[in-house]
Amino acid sequence: MNSSHILTEEFYNRDALTLAAELIGKVLCTVNDGVLTSGIISETEAYMGVTDRASHAYGGRRTARTETMYMEGGHAYVYLIYGMYYCMNVVANVRDVPEAVLIRAVLPRDGAEFMRRRRAERGGMSVCRAKDSRLADGPGKVCTALGITKEHDGKCLWDNEIFIREDGFTPDRAVITGKRINIDYAGEDAERPWRFTLDMADRLRSI
DNA sequence: CGCCGGATTCCG
DNA sequence: GGAATCCGGCGA
């Protein structure tokens, strides 16, 4: 597997918990109007499908929105949250097993200045003054910075406009950080330690 | 740094 | 009605 290999089927056809850990350190890339932007995935959460109260597919819920989660692993599941922001997920496992991994943060890799510009534009600012490590440190910011919108929902992740690749380095380990964020409605499933971070990300953020 | 409220739109 | 969020304002 060469160092800039684009990930395909065999990588994605695994359960979301495994995939959430494996995605740490991989590079999420988009090409919008010929502009490449990308970020090293530094924070993820697993959403474990029909048995997980925090999952959109809990209890086998199958609606217009969640239909994407039932696709084969390796597709993008993008939805609007709080009426204002998009969240980018990687569909895991096989067809009809609706698991997904939320991309909560990335570290800018390619086109950081474009990412910065998109964040500024979104916030109605002339410039975005955030340091690189804070440019895309939340699921809404990831989508703003990389230009991910509803248009990407259902796209295959080895598409020309959105894909995930290896980056020639493998983090020592993904860190299980603990509970998932903002899912208090999920009862005891809110306690599950299904959130992962890149070991170095916390340190970088304070630099 | 932490807590709090408001923004805004689509889904169930 | 509420959500897998963000930002600005305020207090410590």
- Single out the residue of A201, A193, A160 nearest to residue A40, CA to CA: A201
Answer yes or no: is A55 CB < 7 A from strand C.
Answer: yes
Is a pLDDT exceeding 80 seen at residue A136?
A: yes
Taking chain A, what is the end-to-end CA distance rounded to the nearest angstrom?
33
Q: Which tens digits make up the pLDDT trace of A9-42?
A: 999 999 999 999 999 999 999 999 999 999 999 9
Measure the CA angle with vertex A139, ends A17 and A13; round to 5°. Answer: 30
Is a pLDDT exceeding 70 seen at residue A88?
A: yes
Distance, Å, A10 CA → C6 C1'? 35
Rounded to whole angstroms, what are the CA distances from A18 to A21, A33, A99?
5, 33, 11
- Nearest nucleotide to A104 (CA to C1') is C4
Residue nearest to nucleotide C8 (CA to C1'): A123
Which comes out higher in pLDDT, residue A95 or A124?
A95
Q: What is the mean pLDDT of residues A150-160?
A: 97
Distance, Å, A141 CA → C12 C1'? 28
pTM: 0.95
pLDDT value for A84? 97
Answer yes or no: is A47 CB < 7 A from strand C.
Answer: yes
Q: Which tens digits make up the pLDDT trace of A173-202?
A: 788 899 999 999 999 999 999 999 998 776
Q: How confident is the model at residue A79 (pLDDT cuts 50, 70, 90)?
A: very high
Could you give the CA distance from residue A41 to residue A127 in angstroms, rounded to a whole number? 24
Could you give the CA distance from residue A164 to residue A29 in angstroms, rounded to a whole number? 6
Strand C bases, protein C-beta under 7 A? 2-8
Answer yes or no: is A192 CB < 7 A from strand C.
Answer: no
Collect contacts of A112-116 with beta carbons under 8 A, ≥24 apart: A112/A37, A114/A35, A114/A37, A115/A37, A115/A39, A115/A145, A115/A146, A116/A145
pLDDT value for A21? 96
DSSP A5: P
pLDDT value for A198? 93
Is a pLDDT exceeding 70 seen at residue A43?
A: yes
pLDDT value for A3? 54
